[in-house]
Amino acid sequence: IAQLLDGKALAQKMQTELATQVQSLTPQYGRPPGLAVLMVGDNPASAAYVRNKEKACAAVGIASFGKHFPNEATQAEVADMIAQLNADDRVDGILVQLPLPDHLDSVALLNQIHPDKDADGLHPMNLGRLVRTEPGLRSCTPYGVMRLLEAYNLDPAGKTAVVVGRSILVGKPIALMLLDANATVTIAHSRTPNLAEVTRSADILVAAVGRPNLITADMVKPGAIVVDVGINRITDETTGKSRLVGDVDFNAVQSVAEYLTPVPGGVGAMTVTMLLHNTVWSYQQRFQK
């Protein structure tokens, strides 16, 4: 039976360490690190994510400069706020909570964030730095996956890694990070024929698709490390209640894989912590310049 990679425990440990670090740096630098989360509209899932992020900030001593716009906010209003935050010396990280309402151009807004304040690591400059293996802000979810592997001494070097999913948010950056860690990487996606054949070659299998039970036991190499990035809300057939599951058929894969991330409590738990980590990193960079 697979050992679980406990993202929740690692996230808590890292947050405690960040809190200690912030506590010692704040008097030195004369201010705490600052993160601004911008939200537009009333999407309840987004609102919950934003609340979680602000709560986590408070717990480690990061100041929040969030701004919540009504659904009708214009492109210019949000752009003005980003410009103000780019210029605000108290702010080290800026994050636009996605998705935005359809009338807004989210790519234009994300690209307007100053690359040194891009706490989510999704600006073309930071994605370019990742491609070039230069230091920079790294996208939180894939970065969290790498930290989780590291915490369990699971070194990707020399291993075969298969990433299922090719999004800018998860699939592509995690493939690049595994490549930098000297894995031999394959990216599979919706147009990959013989998906099972490809996934069965993986010593490290990362699922980042958004489809419950896509990865079944027969698709997993015995002894593999399986990282489940998917977050899917489903209605449990027996209880009738809604709950979260990943992309991996957890119960079946558990008896084939050697390591497995649970959902919830695996990768998802790491994402917010990496956002805090990025904010503190960018704060330190600012004072060390």
> Under 8 Å CB-to-CB from 149, ≥6 apart: which residues?
5, 155, 156, 204, 225, 227
Task: Give, as ranges, the residues between 171 and 230 that touch ligand NAD (CB under 6 A).
Answer: 171, 188-190, 195, 208-211, 214, 229-230
Is the Cβ of residue 11 or residue 25 nearer to ligand NAD in the bound state?
11
Query: Binding to ligand NAD by residue 61, rule CB under 6 A?
Result: no
Q: For residues 112 and 87, is the Cβ–Cβ distance under 8 A? A: no
Strands 242-245 and 232-235: antiparallel
The alpha-helical segments, DSSP class H, found in the chain are 7-29, 44-60, 75-87, 106-112, 124-131, 140-151, 171-180, 195-199, 250-253, 267-288
268 binds ligand NAD (CB under 6 A): yes
Task: Give min distance, CB of 88 to ligand NAD, in A.
Answer: 27
Q: Decide if 104 contacts 79 (C-beta within 8 A).
A: no
Cβ 94 vs Cβ 38: under 8 Å: yes
- Which one of 271, 273, 279, 282 is in contact with ligand NAD (CB under 6 A)? 271
Q: Which residue type sits at 224?
A: A
Q: Which residues pair with 204 in a beta bridge?
A: 161, 225
Could you say which of 6, 92, 118, 120 is catalytic?
A: 120
- How many residues of this chain bind ligand NAD (CB under 6 A)? 24
Q: Which stretch binds ligand NAD (CB under 6 A): 79-87, 127-135, 150-158, 165-173?
A: 165-173
Interaction of residue 85 with ligand NAD, rule CB under 6 A: no
Q: Residues of 47-83 as b/e, b for ≥16 C-beta within 10 angstroms? A: eebbeebeebbeebbbbbbbbebeeebeeeebeebbe
- Please state the closest distance from residue 199 (CB atom) to ligand NAD, in A: 9
Least Cβ distance, residue 211 to ligand NAD (angstroms):
6
Known active-site residue 97: yes
- Is residue 79 within 8 Å of 126, Cβ to Cβ? no
Give the whole-angstrom CA distance, residue 99 versus residue 102. Answer: 9
In the complex with ligand NAD, the residue whose CB is nearer, 169 or 178, is 169
Asked about 53 being catalytic, the answer comes back as yes
Q: Please state the residue numbers annotated as binding site for NADP(+).
A: 165-167, 231
Per CB under 6 A, does 98 bind ligand NAD?
no
- Which of 6, 53, 117, 228 is catalytic? The answer is 53
Is-catalytic flag, 221?
no
Q: In angstroms, give the least distance from the CB of 89 to ligand NAD.
A: 30
79 neighbors 109 (Cβ within 8 angstroms):
yes
Q: Which residues are catalytic?
A: 53, 97, 120
Binding site for ligand NAD (CB under 6 A): 141, 164-167, 169-171, 188-190, 195, 208-211, 214, 229-232, 267-268, 271
